[in-house]
């Protein structure tokens, strides 16, 4: 049976390589659509938890995973030789940066090599990992063709960027349009047919490079606009103007404006990294992406700016930062998730500790963090904890926090998120 027929008849075998924040939700979506899915991961612990129906990702409820496991539509393994049994292989591995902020494609390369060793005719391979334009054709394709099979002839190859919004109650794979760009028209068509099984709208583009650039552009768009409003926040502070009042007023304009909000920096798996992926690639074309790099630089410096402001507000009360008790509320990179990847809150904690502050934190989604080689555990958000702090820093705006009560209880609050801007309290200082 042809691959097209296997997909349409829902008898296709799908392999998902990498069972993290992107791979596990994707595997679950395919399985819930009635397709047979096998997840591949190098971590035995993840495979074991999936087999037991236990979720390790907040966006995948345990009961939902257990229900799918009961249908025998979802399996997991560390045995990559089973990739040869798959009709479709989706690569969903991390694409971090090196210490010098260069793209680290080692996970993609490893997944491609594992797949190349077991690649067979008729398979469709789709890369979902966020990366720079050219990765599918320049990195993935040569590895997969090492065994003699040719893309577009013996197997199919496409790029379809993940669009996961961690913690969102509104957006999910089923209602978020998918972009697909194949190495040839048939690869694009098959990838489009595949994703039509789990989402209503699939948007084909001309090539993998266009799909890769689309993903990077989406996140660079956010990066530069966040940088703009962060820079505005710094200027407004120097001028004695409330940046929050300015943003709220500007948001009343019904056209030509989209509100973005300042904060302690940017975090997560895409926005802090993608500008560097694109600027790095741009250098191959003797092009300096100055605007993109400037935005990344502004956002990178926000945790340091926050700490400098905390020093100022403590000094204004006759206290030095060294020896002061500072309570940070929220270490996740965004509200209502337990994801701390690239979180600016962690950088703020490190900077505060390095300057001698006695740091503590509360986050209902994160039980412990590593700080300076030590393990720091979350403290209970009790009234005594709030009162005893020399400064309470609101770094993540979790919706479970009672900000009115926090403002009434704590003596000094530094609010990086503007969540207290409708509260009148002389002990609140806002970014």
Which contacts of 144-152 are long-range, i.e. CB under 8 A and separated by 24 or more positions?
Answer: 144/112, 144/115, 144/116, 144/119, 146/116, 147/116, 147/117, 147/119, 149/119, 149/120, 149/121, 151/183, 151/184, 151/187, 152/183, 152/184, 152/186, 152/187
**74: which 2 tokens?**
């979802």
**328: which 2 tokens?**
């940070």
Question: 38: helix, coil or strand?
Answer: strand
Burial of residue 112 (CB within 10 Å: 0-12, 13-18, 19+) is: buried
Active site residue 270: yes
Catalytic residue among 90, 270, 391, 400: 270
The closest alpha carbon to 264, from 419, 428, 416, belongs to 416
Q: Which residues of 10-25 are buried (b: 16+ CB within 10 A; e: fewer)?
A: eebbbbbbbbbbbbbb
CA 183/CA 203 separation, integer angstroms: 15
CA 264/CA 259 separation, integer angstroms: 17
**382: which 2 tokens?**
């009790």
- Type and span of the H or E element at 31: helix 23-32
CA 15/CA 31 separation, integer angstroms: 11
Tokens 């979350």 correspond to: 378
The closest alpha carbon to 140, from 165, 114, 167, belongs to 114
Q: Are 133 and 281 in contact (CB under 8 A)?
A: yes
Q: Taking the mean position of all CA atoms in its chain, how far away is CA 54?
A: 22
Number of H helices, E strands in the chain: 16, 15
- Compute the chain's Rg from CA coordinates: 24
Question: Concatenated DSSP letters for 351-392?
Answer: HHHHTT-EEEEE-TT--EEEETTEEEEPPP--HHHHHH-SEE
What are the catalytic residues? 270
């Amino acid at each position: 049976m042809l691959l097209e027929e296997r997909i349409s008849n829902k008898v296709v075998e799908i392999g998902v390589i990498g069972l993290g924040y992107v791979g596990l939700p994707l595997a679950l979506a395919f399985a819930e659509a009635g397709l047979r899915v096998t997840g591949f991961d190098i971590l035995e612990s993840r495979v074991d938890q999936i087999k037991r129906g236990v979720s390790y990702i907040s966006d995948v409820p345990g009961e939902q995973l257990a229900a799918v496991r009961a249908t025998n539509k979802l399996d997991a393994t560390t045995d990559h030789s089973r990739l040869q049994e798959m009709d479709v292989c989706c690569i969903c591995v991390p694409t971090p940066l090196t210490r010098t902020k260069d793209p680290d494609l080692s996970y993609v390369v490893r997944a491609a090599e594992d797949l190349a060793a077991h690649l067979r005719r008729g398979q469709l391979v789709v890369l979902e990992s966020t990366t720079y334009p050219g990765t599918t054709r320049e990195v993935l394709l040569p590895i997969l063709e090492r065994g003699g099979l040719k893309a577009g002839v013996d197997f199919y190859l496409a790029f379809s960027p993940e669009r996961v919004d961690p913690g969102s109650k509104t957006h999910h794979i089923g209602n978020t349009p998918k972009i697909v760009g194949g190495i040839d028209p048939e690869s694009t068509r098959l990838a489009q047919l595949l994703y039509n099984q789990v989402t209503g709208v699939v948007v084909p583009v001309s090539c993998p490079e266009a799909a890769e650039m689309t993903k990077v552009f989406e996140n660079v768009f956010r990066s530069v606009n966040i940088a703009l409003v962060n820079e505005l926040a710094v200027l407004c502070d120097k001028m004695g103007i409330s940046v929050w009042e300015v943003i709220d007023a500007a948001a009343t304009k019904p056209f030509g404006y989209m509100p973005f909000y300042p904060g302690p920096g940017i975090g997560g798996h895409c926005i802090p990294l993608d500008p560097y992926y694109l600027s790095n690639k741009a250098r191959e074309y003797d092009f300096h992406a100055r605007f993109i790099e400037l935005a990344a630089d502004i956002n990178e410096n926000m945790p340091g700016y926050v700490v400098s402001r905390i020093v100022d507000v403590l000094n204004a009360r006759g206290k030095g930062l060294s020896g002061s008790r500072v309570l940070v509320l929220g270490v996740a990179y965004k509200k209502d998730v337990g994801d701390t990847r690239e979180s600016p809150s962690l950088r703020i904690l490190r900077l505060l500790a390095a300057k001698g502050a006695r740091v503590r934190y509360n986050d209902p989604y994160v039980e412990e963090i590593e700080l300076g080689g030590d393990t720091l555990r979350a403290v209970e958000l009790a009234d005594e904890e709030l009162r005893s702090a020399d400064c309470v820093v609101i770094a993540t705006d979790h919706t479970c926090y009672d900000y009115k009560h926090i403002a009434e209880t704590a003596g000094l609050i530094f609010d990086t998120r503007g969540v207290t801007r409708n509260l009148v309290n002389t002990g609140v200082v806002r970014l």
